[in-house]
Chains A and B, each alone.
Chain A
Amino acid sequence: MTDPAIELKGISKSFGPVQANKDISIRVMPGTIHGIIGENGAGKSTLMSILYGFYKADSGEIWIDGSETQIPDSQAAIAAGIGMVFQHFKLVENFTVLENVILGAEDSGLLKPSLTRARKALLDLAQEYGLNVDPDARIDEIGVGMQQRVEILKALYREAQILILDEPTGVLTPAEADQLFRILHRLREEGKTIILITHKLREIMEATDQVSVMRRGEMVATRTTSQTNPEELAELMVGRKVLLRVDKVPAQPGAKILEIKGLRVRDDKGVERVKGIDLNVRAGEILGIAGVAGNGQSELMEVLGGMRAGSGEVLLNGQPLELIGANGRAIRDKGIAHVPEDRQREGLIMDFHAWENVAFGYHHDEKYSRGLLMDNAALRADTEAKIEKFGIRPPNGWLSAKNFSGGNQQKIVVAREIERNPDLLLVGQPTRGVDIGAIEFIHKQIVALRDAGKAVLLVSVELEEIFSLSDRIAVMFDGHIMGERLPDRTDEKELGLLMAGVAGEAA
């Protein structure tokens, strides 16, 4: 029997009081794609960072190809034939592709011979695996899909036999993700071993041979992918049965709540990010805006939320909305609630208590005031009610926002905004960094608001989320709406093309 390419035995690692990995053992056979799945914070990335020498395990052994190997730093990991593509790329942005590839793997003190050799090697690798990149392009001039290829090339240039990819599809369009998986299959054919870390069940089912599930720092199960199913994996991840699909009745759209005509928005650098779009959202429906991050969705949400100026016309309940000089409070008073995309920067003050956070933006409300003073008792009572209703854990309003998990932080924001019973709810990336259990809950709340006859404008880069929540889908690319589709009359492939800027026929 062949030795495993990688065998981890009893790996444990703590960060202060938090135990990220508890006695983890795993065997990865050579020439396979091995998935590691788990919720955010389950310890997947920590485990792989230990394997790559980025962190040092508190205890445990690492065996590579049947012999015990010490990996005190990344240098040792590279020497052992391990390459890693991090979730956040480790590239020098103002260097060329070529310079990034040779960095740390130069042949000699002078750069020229290394550059010449690397240029040739990149051409060979491009042919072998379909990893085409322009060696002289600067990293900040190429797209994320290309940047990811550079990361893979970096590993292959160092002759990695084992490739670890941490959440590789988070920033990719579906087409780019498909291409990535083709490349991974190609690498497997050449005998490379691949570890794929993800929280997306679909990717595990499509791409892997084996899958290991992690939950709260522990390895709970390993399955052969062909002999399991998404429901079983989700249950293993969360520790209880979960509903993967949102149960909802067909929408019953009413009057137009939000009408956008020819809206244009510039970002902080003066670059136009929203280039004249028309949209409308009716009462009792969820309009989902799909698109790869950075195509103007954020700016659109910021304008509607009163955080940014724009030009064009926006009507709320038929009344024009101030687009210049508007502020969050004026917008909120008109009946728009906003769950911002980045909850840690825009939705919460991380060092403040939950009970202070739970009413941000509404502090002036009579409910929370006693004359000129804030009514802290009322605030705390309100917090208790929201903790109860939204199942916020731990149920302690005195904890700082930063002490809650991502999912519970988001529940605080969602509770605050939805409980205002707004006419229009703006939701940006509602489940980014949120665990499956909380996703289920947050989705239910959004649908409930819709069923109560309110309008919801949803922005998400997760197509799965767009599909399961939206009653209508608009795709944004480069500041334009590429088209609108109905979720039951389109598929990921079609949306993927629109997201990549390939125009389809009008809906």
Chain B
Amino acid sequence: MDFLTLIQVLDSTIRLTTPLLLACLAGLYSERAGIFDIGLEGKMLAAAFFSAAVAYVSGSVWLGLGAGIVSSVVLSGLHGLASITFRGNQLISGLAVTMLAQGFTVLVAQDWFSQGGRTPSLSGGARFTGITLPFADTLAPVPFIGPIYAELISGHSILVYLAFALVPLTWWVLFRTRFGLRLRAVGENPAAVDTAGVSVTGLRFSAVIICGVLCGIAGAYLSTALQAGFVKEMTAGRGYIALAALIFAKWRPWHALWACLLFGLLQAIALRYQSINLGGIVIPVQVMDALPYILTVVILAGFVGKAIPPRAGGEPYVKER
């Protein structure tokens, strides 16, 4: 593999990591507050559709992004209502959100655009395009550093930079602010938060809403930046891979970045090499596609030590008698 190919694979890794990272951080906020969310997939899917639809109709990708975020937050609110207000089962609620999104995106897309459950292709102002960082063109000819800067670091859409910037920001929020302290506390022992005079419901809803916003951005990125338009089931399990990455990262922001990069790299390799020939043995593309899941199983089997979720995760808060 030559240097340029490597740069291209890594470049593709960054693009593919972005939606995983956004969804993973979304899940991190929610699960740190004690609300398990397997509906990341559904929220991304809804956001992908509404972003593409609104961007196409209005011609503005920013309006599209807004619509994506709103749709995802609405689904988050639904999940919050079911699991916080009505103390329902969080897994079932999350699953319902995903199934709902899988159904209605295609239905509404067909009704609005009549293109077999997709939106028309986006172009121009209806898509996020790459940003060329300063001096990218000047530095490009410089050996080694040039391609890294011009190809790998420069030229991504604004959402990519946002996603990566969210990692230190999330760390800072969680571990350096009052909100972060309370958020972590409510995921570990909501009774401690309640008796300290802080609203458990309020905290958990804010976490769920943040989760919705981030999933919204992730979905919008899929349909308006990574690809040009919405197609059926375009999230392709990214919500679940993000959850796997979250467990892999043991619910910590910086580890989430590394986990998502690893899964992004696997996807990039699978995308570039349809089948890999290793000394006569051909590894089919399906194996590559399955790798993130295989990796997750290996991880969950205790390969990287025990991943302990937030202690109150998945449990509705009921004042004990």
Residues on A lying within 8 angstroms of B by beta carbon are: 15, 46, 52, 54-55, 73-78, 84, 86, 88, 90-95, 99-100, 102-106, 108-112, 114, 154
Contact = CB atoms under 8 A, between A and B. Distances in A.
B81 interface: no
Nearest to A105: B196
A55 B319 contact: yes
B196 A54 contact: no
A397 to B, nearest CB: 27
A195 B185 CA distance: 28
A350 to B, nearest CB: 15
B195 A74 contact: yes
A103 B188 contact: no
Nearest to A99: B181
A112 B197 CA distance: 21
A139 to B, nearest CB: 10
B176 A95 contact: no
Interface string B183-203: 011001101111111100000
A154 B176 CA distance: 20
A73 B197 contact: yes
A111 B181 contact: yes
Given A95-B185, A109-B177, A111-B176, A100 B192 contact: yes
Contacts of A88: 320
Interface in B167-184: 176-182, 184
A111 B189 contact: no
A95 B179 CA distance: 15
Nearest to A77: B197
Contacts of B180: 111
B301 to A, nearest CB: 18
Nearest to A45: B321
Given A78-B196, A104-B193, 20 more contacts: A55-B319, A74-B195, A74-B197, A75-B198, A77-B197, A78-B197, A84-B195, A90-B194, A90-B195, A93-B188, A95-B184, A104-B182, A104-B196, A104-B197, A104-B198, A106-B178, A109-B178, A110-B177, A111-B176, A114-B178
Identify the interface centre among A78, A84, A106, A154: most chain B CB within 10 Å of its CB: A106
Contact of A90 (B177, B184, B191): B191
B179 A93 contact: no
A93 B319 contact: no
A46 B197 CA distance: 18
B177 A103 contact: no
Given A92-B189, A94-B188, A103-B185, A111 B177 contact: yes
B255 interface: no
B159 to A, nearest CB: 27
B311 interface: yes
A106 B189 contact: no
Interface of B: 176-182, 184-185, 188-189, 191-198, 311, 319-321
B178 A111 contact: yes
30 contacts: A54-B319, A55-B319, A73-B197, A74-B194, A74-B195, A77-B197, A78-B196, A78-B197, A90-B191, A90-B192, A90-B194, A92-B192, A93-B188, A95-B185, A99-B181, A100-B192, A103-B181, A103-B192, A103-B198, A104-B198, A106-B178, A106-B181, A108-B178, A109-B178, A110-B178, A111-B177, A111-B178, A111-B180, A111-B181, A112-B176
A88 B197 CA distance: 17
Contacts of B197: 73-78, 104
A94 B320 CA distance: 21
A103 B193 contact: yes
Nearest to A46: B321
The 4 nearest A-B residue pairs measured at CB: A104-B196, A75-B197, A90-B192, A106-B178
Given A15-B321, A54-B319, A55-B319, A109 B179 contact: yes
B190 to A, nearest CB: 9
A52 B181 contact: no
Nearest to B186: A92
B306 to A, nearest CB: 11
Identify the interface centre among A78, A88, A110: most chain B CB within 10 Å of its CB: A110
B181 A90 contact: no
A506 B158 CA distance: 75
Identify the interface centre among B182, B311, B319, B321: most chain A CB within 10 Å of its CB: B321
Contacts of A104: 182, 193, 196-198
Contacts of A109: 177-179
Nearest to B188: A92
A94 B191 CA distance: 14
Nearest to B194: A74
Nearest to A75: B197
Nearest to B179: A109
Contacts of B179: 109
A340 to B, nearest CB: 23
B300 to A, nearest CB: 19
A316 B191 CA distance: 46
Contacts of B321: 15, 46
Contacts of B177: 109-111
A81 B317 CA distance: 26
Nearest to B192: A90
Contacts of B178: 106, 108-111, 114
Given A93-B311, A110-B178, A52 B195 contact: yes
Contacts of B319: 54-55
A372 to B, nearest CB: 39
Nearest to B176: A111
B176 A110 contact: yes
Contacts of A92: 184-185, 188-189, 192
Contact of A74 (B182, B189, B196): B196
Contacts of A111: 176-178, 180-181
Identify the interface centre among B176, B188, B191, B197: most chain A CB within 10 Å of its CB: B197
Contacts of A110: 176-178
A318 B105 CA distance: 74
